[in-house]
Chains A and B, each alone.
Chain A
């Protein structure tokens, strides 16, 4: 199987402000957000990153999408290095996180065209893709409505669609169903399965066990910035449900990489 995304010994630290030191009751001035983290996602695979809040999942995804730079290590996205060729990396993947917002003044229609242009997608191709995606997500009716006037669910759908305007082979989703109602969450989950069916490589970060169980092939459990366990979903859930397994792992706080 082709290695589409190879995360190699990633490390990221942040300086802690005096205010933050007080809040966290620590004297440490440096916080290790991600510590020597490695894993690989293969072509056509859905890889789930599971972990509690503050485990370092989002920071890992940000480094993978070349939004922030790693202190150490590298990520190869279809062979391109985030350290050496960040622009190439950004062109190869689609990244969706709740932190990336759309300008509320514009309409979904305009934004799709705008981001297609930035990704260098041909006009005709972009138009066809827009029609397809807008129809699939029920955006067509709201295509000319300003993003600011859309519901939260519709905004999330538009964000998702915008993140894949260029039809990337690798897609990174950070908490894709977070804050969505059950109906919208189902639309998103079904779409992820559809993308998987198309042979896309998907990395999903979430703390929703049911989502992992439904769509992931392999799972990495991240605790305190370290990869505690990395295995197939099948192996992880062989003895007990994923949720129970996760709490076991969390209790043990297993360190180091355990990739199979």
Chain B
């Protein structure tokens, strides 16, 4: 009666796909929310560090030297307003508030230009000091600080220009756009994928197994002539398919929004990967989902209800996230095949290899085969659990 596997799968699919709320929360929302979240995060970060094109730093200055007046006259987006020493304290107080009316307070020593020209580094005395007061929580003030610091550094370099590093417009960073994209994707994607896949599995497996147990509907299945192993296989395959859909949704949301989150790095795009890369990723993802679904299903079968199952699964999810983080730490990225026998770690590392465009096919093969074997063992354990009255009818 192999048909019973298909019957169970069909039932799980009907249960899922005819429930619009479940489809919305499990498949559509994750991708959409990740896209929106990452995009907003990206634009938030950008606006924090970028300034508007028409922004002009409003700077109050004490003892404004002539050399700086040239900067203002030279067209820099800076407007200096000279103030007296006596106004300094009030200006510093004003800067602490958002409504100061200016962005930065620059305090030059008297006769700054003269002091600079007479200063000898070899003499060892104290160099003339310029003080820049600003408010880092105000983006305009922060930008003004960077701008003024840059002006002063440029001025200082120009005074004693003995040599230049990387002069002119030539490109010195030889990394290609592809390399940059690959580096970012390989660091971020494996960890995020582990989280998304686990979330997808958690959204469906506890409800389908612990939920059925809690509602007493699984007992109705257990009095049919279907083999327990068929019930386990049917559940795991169908739940995996649904979890993959959920994971795929998250993956798409992430791949489309990651460049935005990274501040629209020039040339960064998921286009750098070809179809073969995506097929290999899919293989790794498939085998990973099988392992996670099996694990969550076994935990759910042990639990007496959905709440208990979710509680037990959460620490496992944290472990899987930690294993996902290993892809961000070069020292923890092992290359020997034996390491790829460790479930979940192997998936994170395999994805890291693929997204860094440096996949090791032996390790990926070890990962996929090992994961399928673990899932097979899991199905066997789950079938045994379905056959165990103490587990299935525990209250």
Binding site for B on A (CB under 8 A): 65-69, 87-88, 90-91, 95, 99-106, 110, 114-115, 117-120, 162
Query: Once bound together, how far apart are the Cα atoms of A165 and B221, in whole Å?
Result: 13
Which residue of chain B is the closest to A101 with respect to CB atoms?
A: B216
The answer on a CB contact under 8 Å between A118 and B224 is yes
Partner of B220, one of A66, A88, A101, A117: A101
Partner of A120, one of B3, B19, B227, B389: B3
Residues in B2-18 with C-beta less than 8 Å from chain A: 3-4, 7, 11, 14-15
Query: Once bound together, how far apart are the Cα atoms of A158 and B3, in whole Å?
Result: 24
Which residues in A have their C-beta under 8 angstroms from that of B389?
A: 67-69
Which residue of chain A is the closest to B388 with respect to CB atoms?
A: A69
Total cross-chain contacts (CB, 8 A)? 60
Which residues in B have their C-beta under 8 angstroms from that of A90?
A: 223-225
The answer on a CB contact under 8 Å between A119 and B15 is no
Query: Once bound together, how far apart are the Cα atoms of A48 and B1, in whole Å?
Result: 33
Binding site for A on B (CB under 8 A): 1, 3-4, 7, 11, 14-15, 19, 212, 215-217, 219-227, 389, 393
Query: Once bound together, how far apart are the Cα atoms of A100 and B218, in whole Å?
Result: 8
The answer on a CB contact under 8 Å between B15 and A103 is yes
The answer on a CB contact under 8 Å between A100 and B220 is yes
Contact A100 to B216, CB < 8 A, known contacts A95-B223, A105-B15, A119-B225: yes
Which residues in B have their C-beta under 8 angstroms from that of A105?
A: 15, 19
The answer on a CB contact under 8 Å between B226 and A118 is yes
Partner of B223, one of A67, A69, A88, A106: A67
The answer on a CB contact under 8 Å between A91 and B217 is no
Which residue of chain A is the closest to B212 with respect to CB atoms?
A: A103
Contact A99 to B15, CB < 8 A, known contacts A90-B225, A118-B225, A119-B225: no
Query: Once bound together, how far apart are the Cα atoms of A106 and B15, in whole Å?
Result: 8
Can you show 18 pairs from A to B with CB atoms below 8 A apart?
A66-B223, A67-B389, A88-B225, A90-B224, A99-B216, A100-B223, A101-B217, A101-B220, A102-B217, A102-B220, A103-B217, A106-B14, A106-B15, A114-B7, A115-B224, A117-B7, A118-B224, A119-B225
Which residues in B have their C-beta under 8 angstroms from that of A114?
A: 7, 11
Query: Once bound together, how far apart are the Cα atoms of A104 and B217, in whole Å?
Result: 9
Contact A67 to B4, CB < 8 A, known contacts A100-B216, A114-B11: no
